[in-house]
Structure 1
Amino acid sequence: MIADQAQDRMWRRLEGLAVGGAALYLAYMLEPDWPWWVWPVIFLAPDLSFFGYLFGPATGAITYNLCHIYGFGLGIAALGAAGWGADTATPWLVAAGLVVLGHAGIDRALGFGLKRRAGFQDTDLGQLGRKG
């Protein structure tokens, strides 16, 4: 049972690496001329969801998870593809959504899973930090 859980975590981390790498590559293909500073600003934007923890671990877990599920970045990209706010597709918004998706994937690859209500350290990929 424990070996199965470890293998499951490994596969989810590898999936995160694949999603993150592919999403960032596709974003670069769409917007290769963005200034360098745009990339870290968009990439780190989902981490503003940490402020939800100011209102307790349950609220923090909800805000963090909403901004770190794959669907959040995909939703932003879909809005761009549908031409949200314009008559045609908006490539920069598609690319921004892909960067957010890349953030979620890289977080998974590094072991920062989705949070549980018990606290920031308790994730679906296991405990963060030192044990004991």
Structure 2
Amino acid sequence: MAGTPRTILRLEGLALFTIASVAFSYTGLSWWLYAALFLLPDVSFVAYGAGPRLGAMIYNILHTMIGPALLIGIGLFLASPLLLGLAAIWAAHIGFDRMLGYGLKYATGFSDTHLGRIGRDRAGA
């Protein structure tokens, strides 16, 4: 992944991070909660201890917008600032990762992502 598509995808990540962070501010929840939970989806790295296939699957489940979108829907239905805030933190984390070039993982290894190869031996990234 290089050139204009790479730039657009990273800007898209920045937009998601920014919008989700602003949305969090409207929940009235503590920024300490935001700080404490922001990196929580990265606990999924532990699943790589069981192998790259399971690691990629767990990582991808926690790094797609499906979970936050469902949580937003439930939060809106229940009028729950807590659920909306948790969804915003989760979405902000995903946007931040995308902004930095971290994409969804392939089962071939942690460095192989839908946004291109990451790490020291990346090509064109």
Q: Does 1:125 align with 2:122?
A: no
The structure 2 residue matched to 1:59, chosen from 54, 61, 79, is 54
Give the letter aligned to residue 13 of structure 1. Answer: R
The structure 2 residue matched to 1:46, chosen from 41, 44, 47, is 41
Q: How far apart are the structure 2 equivalents of 1:72 and 1:66? A: 8
Q: How far apart are the structure 1 equivalents of 2:43 and 2:68? A: 15
Structure 1 spans left out of the alignment, 5+ residues: 84-88
Q: Does 1:110 align with 2:100?
A: yes
Larger-Rg structure: 1
Q: Which residue of 2 aligns with 1:86?
A: none
The TM-score, its normalising length taken from structure 1, stands at 0.84
Q: How far apart are the structure 1 equivalents of 2:69 and 2:40? A: 15
Displacement of 1:49 after TM fit? 1.2
Structure 2 matches for 1:1-132, cutoff 5 A? 5-31=2-28, 33-34=29-30, 36-83=31-78, 89-131=79-121
Q: Quick one: higher RCO (CA 8 Å, sep 6+), 1 or 2? A: 2
Cα root mean square deviation, aligned: 1.6
Q: How far apart are the structure 2 equivalents of 1:124 and 1:6? A: 15
**Equivalent residues, number:** 122
Which stretches of structure 1, 4 residues or more, deviate above 4 A after TM superposition?
Answer: none
Q: Does the 8 Å CA contact 1:15/1:109 hold for their aligned counterparts?
A: yes
Displacement of 1:97 after TM fit? 0.4
> % of aligned pairs identical?
37
The TM-score, its normalising length taken from structure 2, stands at 0.89
